[in-house]
Amino acid sequence: MEAERTLGGLRCRDVLAELDRYVAGELTPEELAAVEIHVSGCENCARFGAAYAGVVTRLRTDTKDRVPEGLTERLMSRWPEP
Amino acid sequence: MNDDGELLHAAADGDRVAMNELVRRHQGAVWRAVRGRTASEAIAEEVFQDTFLTAWRQAATWRGEGSVRSWLTGMARRKAAHTWRRRVGEPAEHTPLHELGLAAGWGSDPEAAASAAEDRDTLLAALATLSPADQTIVGLCDLEGHTGPEAAEILGVTANAARVRLHRARLRLMKALREDAHGS
């Protein structure tokens, strides 16, 4: 992993491995402190972490309760004989 | 108001009014289960209708294990899975995580994936190119909002296994988004 750094006692690949827990807010205070030290000094991890969080956010907010108009009505007119 | 189980039993006896009520109650959940696993809205509509038509025909097979909603969304996910095509040369599961990170843009252009994800159709089309296993875990956790432990129970794996699967699947999704961004 070219350009990998060690900051906050963590290598970049260590931060990558914990990125899901970081985004989910599941790191312990000690883990969080180490990751934040690393990210504050590592542009690659800062950029990747932001992009990862952005994709997760889009996944989680893109879902809408928006069934296409007319789809349900078309369905309800199609029940075959039981 | 009848509970879902009562409505489904009535539907099993041919009660269309009961079935319509079930559709109204669960259309959003079934749509979310389907739309995030199909490459287009047209395919999603077909799977949506097929799911409820199958539920109508097979209403008598519901044994009361779990909720009616989970029965419907599970059926929807399986039907959506049949619309996928596997990518040739799919990476093996033991690909080191840091290699998945590199492919997702670490050290180069991670913003490409995030930018591509801004477009909903692009995001869902990229998701539809992933393996069924990847789509399922992303669908369960990120689209349907199940917690890691809930997804683990649904899949019959440990919580840590579900967590690792989700993280790796998201990285492969970022790779797919990045490839889309570079291709367009």
Instruction: State the burial class of residue B179 (Cβ atoms within 10 Å of its Cβ: 0-12, 13-18, 19+).
Output: middle
pLDDT of res. B139: 83
Two tokens at B159? 């919580």
Does residue A1 lie within any of the structural domains? no
Query: Per the structure, how many domains does chain A have?
Result: 1
Nearest residue in chain A measured CA to CA from B145: A60
d(CA B102, CA B98): 6
In a structure prediction context, what are the per-residue pLDDT tens digits for chain A, which is 82 residues long?
778 999 999 999 999 999 999 999 999 999 999 999 999 999 999 999 999 999 999 988 755 557 888 888 888 888 888 7
Which of helix, strand or coil describes residue A77?
coil
Chain A interface test: which of B32, B46, B106 (most A C-beta within 10 Å): B106
Look at A55 and B170 and tell me if their CB atoms are within 8 Å: yes
Nearest residue in chain B measured CA to CA from A81: B14
The CA distance from B143 to the nearest CA of chain A, in Å, is 6
Which of helix, strand or coil describes residue A7?
strand
d(CA A40, CA A56): 21
Q: Is A75 on the interface with B (CB under 8 A)?
A: yes
Q: Which amino acid is at B165?
A: R
Instruction: State the burial class of residue A20 (Cβ atoms within 10 Å of its Cβ: 0-12, 13-18, 19+).
Output: buried
The CA distance from A2 to the nearest CA of chain B, in Å, is 8
d(CA A17, CA A12): 9
The upper half-sphere exposure of residue A43, i.e. CA atoms within 13 Å in the direction of its Cβ, equals 5
Which of helix, strand or coil describes residue A10?
strand
In a structure prediction context, what are the per-residue pLDDT tens digits for chain B, which is 184 residues long?
579 999 999 999 999 999 999 999 999 999 988 887 776 778 889 999 999 999 999 999 998 888 999 999 999 988 887 765 433 333 446 789 999 999 999 999 999 999 999 988 899 889 988 888 898 888 888 887 788 888 888 788 899 999 999 999 999 999 999 998 888 5
Look at A63 and B117 and tell me if their CB atoms are within 8 Å: no
Look at B56 and A20 and tell me if their CB atoms are within 8 Å: no
Does residue A33 lie within any of the structural domains? yes
Query: What DSSP character marks residue B91?
Result: P
pTM over 0.90: no
pLDDT of res. B92: 47
ipTM of the complex as predicted: 0.80
pLDDT of res. A64: 54
Nearest to B20 among A50, A62, A76 (CB): A76
Q: Is A60 on the interface with B (CB under 8 A)?
A: yes
Percent above pLDDT 90 for chain B: 53
Nearest to A58 among B24, B101, B123 (CB): B123
Q: Which residues of B touch A81 (CB under 8 A)?
A: 14
Look at A72 and B24 and tell me if their CB atoms are within 8 Å: yes
Look at A58 and B118 and tell me if their CB atoms are within 8 Å: yes
pLDDT of res. A63: 53
| CA B7 to chain centroid | 25
Which of helix, strand or coil describes residue A6?
strand
Instruction: State the burial class of residue A10 (Cβ atoms within 10 Å of its Cβ: 0-12, 13-18, 19+).
Output: buried
Answer whether B127's CB lies under 8 Å from B36's CB.
yes
pLDDT of res. A30: 95
Question: Which domain, by its residues, includes A21?
Answer: 6-78
Q: Is A47 on the interface with B (CB under 8 A)?
A: yes
Answer whether A8's CB lies under 8 Å from A35's CB.
yes
Look at B177 and A59 and tell me if their CB atoms are within 8 Å: no
pLDDT of res. A65: 55
Q: Is A30 on the interface with B (CB under 8 A)?
A: no
Two tokens at B90? 């799919």
Query: Alpha carbon of B12 to those of A71, A73, B56: distances in Å?
Result: 22, 20, 7
Q: Which residues of A touch B105 (CB under 8 A)?
A: 48, 51
